[in-house]
Amino acid sequence: MRQGRQDYDLVVEKNTYNAFWGTKLEDKLKEMGAKEVIVSGVMTNLCCETTARDAFVRGFRVFFSTDATTTSSKELHEATLKNMAYGFAYLVDCKSLEAALSTES
């Protein structure tokens, strides 16, 4: 465990593209004191994008993984990355995330 941080294993069962809709995700994040979220997963252009946009609207600073998200085509993946970078999220890859997290104290 990092000093000043806690590691959590939180499973969010969802029934739609948005991980916030009909779940307790926002409550849990606020309970943990989270102000930032990292989005990764399957279907870049559906679940990941929808969740990232909603996180942004809810006031979280969003980091969107370029290499830990995927979808059915390269074109859809790249289009979503362009949308995210335009104003909803910071694009990051796993290597830069690992480096940033390892420097936190």
Domain range annotation of the chain: 34-103
pLDDT at 1 over 80: no
Q: Which of 49, 40, 55 is nearest to 17 (CA)?
A: 49
Structure confidence by residue, pLDDT tens digits, 27-41: 999 999 999 999 999
The stretches of 1-105 forming alpha helices (DSSP H) are 25-32, 49-57, 74-87, 94-103
Domain spanning 34-103: which superfamily?
Isochorismatase-like (3.40.50.850)
Distances (CA, A) of 8 to 5, 14, 51, 55, 73: 10, 18, 19, 18, 32
Q: Cα(103)–Cα(74) distance, rounded to whole angstroms?
A: 32
Residue 100 has a pLDDT of 86
User: What's the pTM value of the predicted model, to 2 decimals?
Assistant: 0.86
Distances (CA, A) of 4 to 7, 33, 37, 104: 10, 12, 17, 9
Residue 20 has a pLDDT of 97
Structure confidence by residue, pLDDT tens digits, 89-102: 999 999 998 888 88
